[in-house]
Structure 1
Amino acid sequence: MIFLTPLALLGLLSLPILYWLVKATPPPARKTRFPSLRILRLLTPERQDTSRAPLWLLLMRLAAVFLLVLGLAQPVWTGMRQTAGREGDLLLALDNGWAAIPHWQERIRSARALAEHSLRAGHSVTLLLGAPDADGTMPPPFRTRDRRRLEERLLALAPHSWPVDRARLAAQIASLMSPDGSSGNRSGTRPGEIVFLSDGVATAADGNLLAVLKRTQIPVGDMRWNGCDTALLGVARGDGADDALRASFETLACREPGRRYRIRVRDAEGGTLGMYPLPGADDGSGTRSASLPLPPLLRNRAARFVLENGTGALPGPSAIVLADSSDRRHPVGLLTQGNQDTPLTGQGFFLAQAIKGVAELHRGSPDTLLDGKLSVLVATDGALSSPGIRAKIAAWVRKGGILVRFAGPVLAASSENAAGDPGQTLLPVPLMEGMRQLGGPMSWGKPQQLDAFDARSPFAGLAVPDEVTVKRQVLARPTPTLGDHVWARLKDGTPLVTATSLGQGELVLFHVTGTADWSSLPLSGLFPSMLERLIARSLGQKDTSAVTRLAPFAMLDAQGLLVPPPEAARPLSTAALATVAPGVQHPPGLYGPPLARRALNLGGASRRLRPEATLGRSLAPGGLSAEIPLAPWLLSFAIALFLIDFLIALWLRGLFVRAAIVLLAAGLALPCARAQDAGEDGPQAQDAQSTHAPSAHTPADVPGAALETRLGYVLTGHDDIDAASREGLQGLSNYASDRSSAAMGHPDGVTPGKDDLAFYPLIYWPVTEDVQEDPARSAALNAFMAHGGILMLDTQGVGSELSAQDEGQMRAALKRATAGLNVPPLTKLDDHHVLAHSFYLLHDFPGRVQGLPVWVARSGDDSNDDVSPIIIGAGDWAHAWAMDSQGNTPYAVIPGGEDQRVQAYRFGVNVLLYALTGNYKADQMRVPELLKRMKQ
C-alpha cells in the first residue's frame, strides 16, 4: 500500500490533543426545586468535578479522526501482480491491430496496471505498438518514468483496422536490445522483463519475433484474452446450382462452443434486409457456415453482412463483409404486350421464370421501367413496334443500358428490318424478311442444334446440351461484318444471337422466340445461364474487366464505419484482389470507380485464423490486481462514525426524538411538494401520467390493457419475429399518438386461448410456416372478432420478390392458421373501402413490400356493423413500422424507401382508427350524392 499524499499523515499528531479535548464533557444541567429561601442558606459551594466521557465514545471519536486523516492521505492498495521474471525496467508490446479491437479497453487497463508497478518502483516503461500507423511507419518506442505521460499516451491510442506487423516489431525489439543503446534505448540499459499484450493471431513473421526474443535472454510474459469475440467473417457464392450466398466464420481458440451467432444483412442506409441464424455447433475447427437464401431483390441491395451474437454485433471490421458490384444482381425490366403473360404459353411467362432465378425482375410500362434503375431491358416480340417507344429506349441504351430482344412473327413480318440505323430499329444486324423453317412437312431441312460458343462470346464456357434444337428463326442479312456481331450460332453457321454497341450500351437479339414455339432453348437450363451472362455485362459490371487498377475509395475503421483511406493506402489490381492480404497499404474497404467498385474484406476463402505460438510465460488478464484507492472507503467510514457520534450527542441531550420528528415531517412534505409541482404543469400532464401509469388504488390483478389502449400481437415462438412485431406495433402506436387523438400504450404479446383478448381493439398475427391448428386458439379469436375486435394476419411478404419462402408452404400454413376461424367472404381491398380514408386518403397499402393484395370482409355484413373482423395480407407491415429503443427504423423498406415507409405508417393508422371507431366514415362517401340530390 502506498500514500499519494503522505504529508497528510502529519494530522495523526493531533490525536493526543484531541484525546485531551474530548476525554471529559461537562455534566448536563439538572432541574432542582427551591421550596424556600431557607434552603438556599443551607447551600455551601462545593467543587464540581467534570464527568468523564465513556471510554467507548472516546475511542470512537479517535477512530473517526484517524480514518479521516488516513483518507486525506489518499492510500492506494497496489496488490500483487504476475511477473514474467525478475524486476527492472519494463518493455510493453501492445498489439493494436484489428484482432485487438474486441478487448481493447481491457488491454489498456492491463497495460496501465502492468506499468504502475514498474513506475512505483522507480523503473522506466517502454511502450511498443504492433501495428503501423496510418502513414505506414511503425510508431517509435515511447519510454517514460512519468505516470501522467504514460496515461496520456495510452488513452490517446486507438486500434487500427489492419493487422499487426510482427516483422517490424521484432526489428524494433532487436534495436532496443543492442548493446550500443542505439535506436531509442539511449540509456543503454536493457529492460528487466518484456510483456506482450498479444491479439493471439498468428502471422508469417512470428518466427522472426520468437528468434529475437530468444536471443535477448530476457524473461517474457504473454497476456491474451478469450478468442470467442475474435471472429473472421466471410461471405462468398456457393457451389450449388442456385448460386446462393454462403457465410462462414471462425473464432480464435474459443472455449465456448455453445454460443449462438447470426448474420444480419444491411443496405447502404443501415436498414436490415434480413437476419439468418447460424445453426449448430462448429465442426471442431472453430468454423461455422450457413447458406444465406437472400432473394435477388434483397441481394441486389445488400451493402454489408454483419456477424452478431446474443448481445449484438461483434466489434471490429473482421465481423463485417462489404458487398460490391460483383455480389449484386442488377435489376432487369421485362416489356411485354397483349396476352404474352399467359401461364405456360406466353413469352412473358417463360422469360419471367428464367429471369427471377438470376436477377431482380421489374414489370410495367416502358415509361415506368425506364424511370427506374434498370441494367437490362428484355423485350418480347412486338413490344417495340411503336417508334416513340423505340426512341426512348434508344436514348436509355446510349447511356449504358442493355436491350435484349426476342424474335417472333411480328419481327419476321416487319419490313423495317432490312437496313437502317440500329438507333432507330434497335436491331444489332439487318434482318431478312420472313422466317426460316427447319423441319416439318414443308421443309427439306431438320431442326438444328447449337454450335459451341466462340471464345470471344460472352457465353464462352457454357455447356451446350444436345437436346436443344431450333425449328424456326429469323435470318440475319449477310454483310461483310456479320461475323463480328455473332455471339451464338447453329451448327450450320446461321446466327442465333447477335449483338452490337449503341453508345455506352448494347443491343442483343435472340433470333428465336422466348417460348418453346420456335426452339427448345427456353426449356433448357442453358437459357437462364445465357441470360445471367448478359445481365453480368450490364452497367456496373460491364467495365469491371477493363479496370485493372482499383484506387482506394473508403476504408473500414475500428468501429466498422466507412472513412477516407489512410495516407499509406495504395491502389491494387483486380487480379490481386482475391489474393492480397489486407494491411496498412491495402486496408479493408472499397476500391475502384463507382461502376466497378470492389470490396476487400478481412475474411475470405483463403484467409484463416490460426492461434499464435506462445511468446513466453502465459499471464492471465484476470490475475492482475488493479490498484484500489482506499480513500473513498476510509472517508466514508469516518463520516459514518461522525454521524453516529452526532446521534449519540442528541440522545444524551434529550433531543433525539425532536430531531426525528423534524426529519419525518420534512420527508412527508417532500412528496407533497413534488405533487404540487406536477399539478402546476396543468391537466394535460396529469392526464398523460394517469393514462400511462396505473393508480395506486388499482388492484394488482387488473391487466394493463384495461387501463390504456394497447395493441396486441400473437406470439409465434420465434424471437426475431416476435421482436419485430413488438417494435412494429410500438412504432405504429407512437406514430398514431403523435398524429391523432389516440393515446396508445405499449403493445402486448398474447397467446390466444390463454390470455384475455377482450381489451385489445386490434391483434396482429405474423403467420409462420410452422404454425399448427389449435382449436382453443381459434375459439378465442372467434370470440374476439365476434365482440368487435379486428384480427390482422400477415404472411410477411411471401409471394413478393423480397421473400425466399415457398408460396405453397405459406398457403398451407395460412390454411392451418385459419382452420376453425369464422372467416367471412373476402374481397380485395381498394381505395373505395373505408380503410382507404378512415384517417388518411390512400390508394395503395404497402408495408415492407408493396404491390401485394390485401383482403378484407365483403361489405354488406350487418352482424358487425359492416366492419371487417379480419384483414389478411402479405405486406410485412411490422418490419416497416418497427422502431427500436433509440427511435430508429432498423428494417429497410423495399423498394420505395422512406416514402413507402410513410405510406405503410399511414395505412397502419387507418387500420388502427378503423378498429377504434368502426366505419362511421363510410357515410362520408355518400356526401357528394346527397348534396347533388339536395340541389335537385
Structure 2
Amino acid sequence: MIFLTPLALIGLVALPVIYWLVKATPPPPKEQAYPSLQILRRLRAGRADTARSPLWLLVLRLLAVALLVLGLSQPVWLGRDLSAQPSQDLVLVLDNGWAAVPHWQERLRAARSLAERRFRAGHEVTLLLSAPDADGSMAAPFTTRDRARFEERLLALTPHSWPSDRAQSARQVDALRDNTSQGTVRDIVLLSDGVSTPADPSLARALHASGSRVSDMRWPGCDTMLLSAHQGDNGALTASFSALPCPTRPLAVRARDENGGTLGIFPLTGKDASGTDLPLPPLLRDRATRLALESDTLPLPGPSALYLLDAGQRRHPVGLLTPGTQDTPLTGQGFFLAQAIEGVGELHRGAVPDLLKQKLSVLIATDGTLADDDTHRRVADWVRHGGVLIRFAGPVLASDPNASSPDKAKTLLPVPLMGGMRQLGGPMSWGKPQVLSAFAEHSPFDGLALPKEVTVTRQVLAQPTAELGDHVWARLSDGTPLVTASAFGQGELVLFHVTGTADWSSLPLSGLFPAMLERLVQRSVGQKDQSELRQLVPFTMLDAHGQLVAPPEAARPLSVEAFATTRPDVQHPPGFYGPRLSRRAFNLGDHLPPITPEALMGTALTPDHVSPDHALAPYLLGAALLLLLADFLVALWLRGMLGRLAMLGLLVAAPALMAPHCALAQEDDEAPKTQAVTHGTVPGAALETRLGYVLTGHDDIDEASREGLQGLSNYASDRSSAVMGHPDGVTPGKDDLAYYPMLYWPITEDVQEDPKRSAALNSFMAHGGILMLDTQGVGSELSTQDEGQTRSALKRATAGLVVPPLSKLDDHHVLAHSFYLLHDFPGRVQGLPVWVARSGDDSNDDVSPIIIGAGDWAHAWAMDAQGNTPYAVIPGGDDQRTQAYRFGVNLLLYALTGNYKADQMRVPELLKRMEQ
C-alpha cells in the first residue's frame, strides 16, 4: 500500500492533543457560604459536571479523526503486476483489429493497470497500436509519463473492423529500438488478440531483437469466431465458422431482414458447424440481409460474427401499365396488381414512354392498354431487347380479331387465341368452375402450393396447336391453359388467360397470385449498373460493433476481377460495395483463412497476473463520516436530547406512515368482502386481466408466445379501455384456467394426446373461454414444416375437445368489427384461412369457443423488453403488422365482451318496432 498524499499523515500528530482536550477534567467548583440564606445550608456540595469522558467515547472520537486523516492522505492498495519489475520503462503493443473486439474493455483495463505502477515509479510508458487508423496510416507511438494523458488516450481508442498489421508493428518496434539511448532497458508487454497472421514471425523477431523482456498477454478465445456462408445451386444457405480452441458450447445463427427483424434462428451442429444448412423458405431467403452468430441467445461481438448477404446484386424494376379507370381500390386491376407486386420488386407507374425510359425488367399490362399502335410498337421493341411482358386477358382481348394471328409482333401474345371467352358455371356455361392443375416441372411455378379454393369461371382459350404444350406454364384441371409464355427476340411474352381481378377467377384473391408474380419477376434478366462491371465503390462498411457506417477515409474501390481474392484491410474493410441497388457483400469470413492460434511471442501472461490498484480513500472517509455521525448521536443522548429528536422525526414521518393504513381502512369500509377474497395466495390473473398461452416445452416458441401476447396486451391497453396485465404460461390440466378470457396455443409437431388436458380445455370453453389454435404459418411459403405432420399434430391436439361445426372467418363475422373494421386477418403470414364456430350456436350466445388458423400471430405481435418488434412480417411489413395487431385487439375484445356487437346490428329494427 502507498500514500498519494503522504504529507496529510502529519495530521496524526493532532491525536494526542485531541486526547488531552477530551480527557481534561474541569476544575472543581469553589465553595462559598451565604449566612443570610439558611436554606443553602442544607445543600451538600457535589459535582454535576462529568470529570472525564467515557473510554469508549474517547476511542470513538480518536478513531474517527484517525480515519479522516488517513483518508485525506489518499492510500492506494497496490494490485498485482507479475509482468516484470516496475523499475524500467514500459512498451505496450495493443492489438486493435477485428479479433480484439471481444474483451476490448478488459484489454484497456489491463493496459491501465500495467501503466499505473510505471507512472508512480517515474518511468515512461509507450503505447503502440497494431491496426491502421481509418485514414490508412499507422498511429505514431504514444509516449508519456503523465497518468492523465495516458488515460485520455485510452478512452479515445476504439477497435477496427479490419485486421491488425503486425508487419507495421514490427517496423515501429525496430524504430523504437533504434531511437533508444544506449543502456536504456524497456519491458514490452504484447496485449494480443491470439489470432495468427502471416506477419507474426516479423513481429516476434523485432520484439526479441530489442533486448527487452517480452510478455505476451492472452484472453480466452471463446468469443473470437469467424462466420461464413455460401448459397448452393438450389438457393439454400449453408453456414460454417472457425474459432480459436475453446470448450464446446451451443451456437446458433439468426437470420435478419433489412429492418432488423428475425426471419429464423437455426442451431449449429457439429464441432465447427461446417456445412450446416439454414432451412429458410425462398421468400424469406430473398429478404435476409445478414446472418448473426449467437451463443446462449446473445450475439457474439464484432464484425467477424456477422455475415452480410447481397441478395440484391441484381434489381428487378417492374412497370405497371393500367388505364386510370382500373385503379379503383378493392375492385380495379391496378389495385390488385400493385398489392401483389409490393415486396416483389420496384414498382413504377406511368405512361409507356416514361416507363420504358427507366430500364425496366418486367412490364405488366392489363386488358386494353396495348391497343394504341404507338404503344404497341414501343413495347414490342422493348421486349425484343430483353424485356419481359406480362399481360392479363379481359373483354377487350377476347373480342380482338387480331388475337388469333400467329404473328407475335402483331399480337404481343405468346400463343394465338380463339375468339370470345369461355364461361364456366351458370345455365349458359360450358361447364362448372375449374380448379388449378399441378404445375409441370418445366414451369417456373413448380413447387408452389395449390390452394384448393382457387377457381376459374371465365377465361380466353388458346388455339390448340402441336406446340401449345411447350408454352403452357399453368393449366386448369380440364387441361386448358391458364398461363402461357414464349420467347420474343431476347425477351419473353407471358399471358394470364384471366383478368387481374376477381371477376373472372379467385386467383388474385389468393396467396398464390403474388407468389406467381414473384417467380416471374425474379426469373427476368434484371438490370445491372454498368459501373459494377468495372469496379465496386465502397457503399457502407461494418464497424467494430457490427453497424453499417460510412466508409473510412482510406477505403478504396474493388475491381470485380479481384473481388474474390482481395484480403480485408483498411483500404478494403468488410461491408457493402457497389451501387445501392446492386451492392455486393465483402465479408471477413469469405476473405480470411480459418482462425488459428497465434504462437507465443514471450512469457505467457494472463489477465489474472495483473489487477488494478484500489484507492482506499473513499472507504476511509466514509467510515470516518459514519463515526462522526455516531458521535453526534451520542452527544445528543448524553444531553438528553435524543428522545426529542426521535419524537420530531416521528411527527414528520407520521403522515407518510399513516397514509397506507388509512387507504386500507377506507377500502375495508367500502368492500368488506375483500379480506375474504384476498386471503391466502391469490393468482395474479385473479387481480388483473391477463391472457394465457399454452406451454409447448419449446423455449423459443414459448418465448415468442409470451412476447406476442405481451405486445398485444400493450397495444390493446394503449388503444382501448381494456387494461391488460402481463401474459401467463399455463399447462391445461395442472393450472386453473378460469381466470383467463382467452388462451393462445401454438401447435407443434411433437404434441401428443392428453385426456386430462382436453378435459380442462373443454371446461374452459364451456364456461365462456376462447381457445385459439395457431399452426404457425404452415401451408404458406414461409414455413418449412410438413403440412401432413402438422395436420396430424392438430388432430392429436384436438382429440377429445368438443369442437363445434366450423366455417371460414369473413368480414361479416363479429370478429371483423368488434373494434376495428377488418377485411382480412393476417399474422406473420397472410392469405391463410381462419376458422371459427359456425353462426347459430345459442349455447354460448353465438360466441365461438375455438378459433383455428395458421397466421403465426404471436410472432407478428411479439415485442421484446426494449419495445422492438424482433420478428419480420412477410410480405406486407409494418402495414401487415398493424393489421395483425388490429385483428388481435378485435379478438381480445371479442373474448372480453362476447357478441355484443352483433346485438348492435339489430338496433334499427328494434327502434322501428318501438315506433310502431
State TM-score, norm by structure 2.
0.78
Aligned match of 1:223 in 217, 221, 244? 217
- Pairwise CA distance, 1:248: 1.6
Aligned match of 1:770 in 750, 756, 765? 750
- 1:825-836 matches, cutoff 5 A: 825-836=805-816
- 1:853-892 matches, cutoff 5 A: 853-892=833-872
Structure 2 distance, partners of 1:667, 1:867, is 54
Structure 2 distance, partners of 1:16, 1:752, is 77
Structure 2 distance, partners of 1:732, 1:499, is 52
Alignment-derived partner of residue 246 in structure 1: 238
Give the letter for the 1:124 counterpart: E
Structure 2 distance, partners of 1:75, 1:475, is 93
Q: 2:403–2:413: 8 Å Cα contact kept in structure 1?
A: no
Alignment-derived partner of residue 62 in structure 1: 62
Q: 1:195–1:223: 8 Å Cα contact kept in structure 2?
A: yes
Give the letter for the 2:192 counterpart: S
Q: 1:666–1:384: structure 2 CA closer, same or farther, 3 Å change rule?
A: closer
Q: 2:832–2:854: 8 Å Cα contact kept in structure 1?
A: yes
Structure 2 distance, partners of 1:472, 1:799, is 37
1:639 aligns with 2:625: yes
Q: 1:375–1:402: 8 Å Cα contact kept in structure 2?
A: no
Give the letter for the 1:159 counterpart: P
- Partner of 1:388: helix, strand, or coil? coil
- Pairwise CA distance, 1:58: 2.0
1:805 aligns with 2:777: no
1:625 aligns with 2:611: yes
Structure 1 distance, partners of 2:748, 2:591, is 34
Alignment-derived partner of residue 428 in structure 2: none
- Pairwise CA distance, 1:660: 4.3
- 1:493-572 matches, cutoff 5 A: 498-501=487-490, 506-507=491-492, 535=522, 538-539=525-526, 547-572=533-558
Structure 1 distance, partners of 2:724, 2:138, is 58
Q: 1:537–1:99: structure 2 CA closer, same or farther, 3 Å change rule?
A: farther
Alignment-derived partner of residue 202 in structure 1: 196
Aligned match of 1:473 in 467, 475, 493? 467
- Partner of 2:620: helix, strand, or coil? helix
Alignment-derived partner of residue 412 in structure 2: 425
Structure 1 distance, partners of 2:268, 2:879, is 33
Q: 1:84–1:195: 8 Å Cα contact kept in structure 2?
A: no
Q: 1:85–1:219: 8 Å Cα contact kept in structure 2?
A: no
Q: 1:838–1:921: 8 Å Cα contact kept in structure 2?
A: yes
Alignment-derived partner of residue 147 in structure 2: 147
- Pairwise CA distance, 1:165: 0.5
Aligned match of 1:269 in 256, 259, 262? 259
Q: 1:570–1:46: structure 2 CA closer, same or farther, 3 Å change rule?
A: closer
Give the letter for the 2:231 counterpart: R
- Partner of 1:855: helix, strand, or coil? strand
Structure 1 distance, partners of 2:902, 2:519, is 50
- Partner of 1:90: helix, strand, or coil? strand
Q: 1:713–1:764: 8 Å Cα contact kept in structure 2?
A: yes
- Pairwise CA distance, 1:724: 1.0
- Pairwise CA distance, 1:191: 4.7
Alignment-derived partner of residue 388 in structure 1: 369
Q: 2:76–2:614: 8 Å Cα contact kept in structure 1?
A: yes
Structure 2 distance, partners of 1:308, 1:915, is 39
1:134 aligns with 2:124: no
What is the number of equivalent residue pairs in this alignment?
A: 794
1:734 aligns with 2:734: no
Structure 2 distance, partners of 1:695, 1:547, is 79
Give the letter for the 1:117 counterpart: R
Q: 1:190–1:887: structure 2 CA closer, same or farther, 3 Å change rule?
A: same
Q: Deviations over 1:660-717 (max 9, x none)?
A: 44445544444447999x99xxx9xx9xxx99xx999933411011111110001111
Alignment-derived partner of residue 360 in structure 2: none
Q: 1:267–1:301: 8 Å Cα contact kept in structure 2?
A: yes
Q: 2:243–2:596: 8 Å Cα contact kept in structure 1?
A: no
Structure 2 distance, partners of 1:368, 1:534, is 15
Q: 1:432–1:474: 8 Å Cα contact kept in structure 2?
A: no
Alignment-derived partner of residue 296 in structure 2: 310
Structure 1 distance, partners of 2:850, 2:721, is 24
Structure 2 distance, partners of 1:835, 1:130, is 64
Structure 2 distance, partners of 1:145, 1:51, is 57
Give the letter for the 1:570 counterpart: R
Structure 2 distance, partners of 1:26, 1:601, is 86
Give the letter for the 1:201 counterpart: V
Q: Deviations over 1:346-385 (max 9, x none)?
A: xxxxxxxxxxxxxxxx9996565566634899xxxxx989
Alignment-derived partner of residue 373 in structure 1: 344
Q: 1:820–1:53: structure 2 CA closer, same or farther, 3 Å change rule?
A: same
Give the letter for the 1:638 counterpart: A
- Pairwise CA distance, 1:889: 1.4
Give the letter for the 2:302 counterpart: G
Structure 1 distance, partners of 2:289, 2:897, is 43
Structure 1 distance, partners of 2:810, 2:521, is 39
Q: 2:83–2:609: 8 Å Cα contact kept in structure 1?
A: no
Q: Deviations over 1:808-846 (max 9, x none)?
A: 111111111111110100000000000011111111111
Structure 1 distance, partners of 2:365, 2:254, is 42
Structure 2 distance, partners of 1:705, 1:779, is 21
Alignment-derived partner of residue 423 in structure 2: none
Give the letter for the 1:128 counterpart: L
Structure 1 distance, partners of 2:244, 2:98, is 13
- Pairwise CA distance, 1:930: 6.1
Structure 1 distance, partners of 2:738, 2:187, is 73
- Pairwise CA distance, 1:545: 11
Moved more, 642-651 or 900-909: 642-651
Q: 1:152–1:696: structure 2 CA closer, same or farther, 3 Å change rule?
A: farther
- 1:689-768 matches, cutoff 5 A: 698-768=678-748
- Pairwise CA distance, 1:606: 6.0
Alignment-derived partner of residue 236 in structure 1: 230
> Identical aligned pairs, as a percentage?
62
Alignment-derived partner of residue 770 in structure 2: 790
Q: 2:548–2:575: 8 Å Cα contact kept in structure 1?
A: yes
- Pairwise CA distance, 1:112: 0.6
Q: 2:312–2:581: 8 Å Cα contact kept in structure 1?
A: no
- Partner of 1:554: helix, strand, or coil? strand
Q: 1:194–1:574: structure 2 CA closer, same or farther, 3 Å change rule?
A: same
- Pairwise CA distance, 1:747: 0.7
Aligned match of 1:901 in 881, 887, 893? 881
Alignment-derived partner of residue 817 in structure 1: 797
Q: Deviations over 1:846-872 (max 9, x none)?
A: 111111100000011111111000000
Structure 2 distance, partners of 1:44, 1:712, is 85
Structure 2 distance, partners of 1:575, 1:219, is 46
Structure 2 distance, partners of 1:42, 1:405, is 129
Alignment-derived partner of residue 599 in structure 1: 585
- Partner of 1:792: helix, strand, or coil? strand
Give the letter for the 2:268 counterpart: L
- Partner of 1:8: helix, strand, or coil? helix
Structure 2 distance, partners of 1:27, 1:866, is 100
Structure 1 distance, partners of 2:636, 2:680, is 43
Structure 1 distance, partners of 2:565, 2:107, is 31
Q: Deviations over 1:313-366 (max 9, x none)?
A: 11211111111136899899999xxxxxxxxxxxxxxxxxxxxxxxxxx99965
Alignment-derived partner of residue 18 in structure 1: 18
Alignment-derived partner of residue 483 in structure 1: none
- Pairwise CA distance, 1:632: 1.4
- Partner of 1:249: helix, strand, or coil? strand
Structure 2 distance, partners of 1:628, 1:124, is 22
Q: 1:161–1:499: structure 2 CA closer, same or farther, 3 Å change rule?
A: farther
- Pairwise CA distance, 1:80: 2.8
Structure 1 distance, partners of 2:195, 2:844, is 68
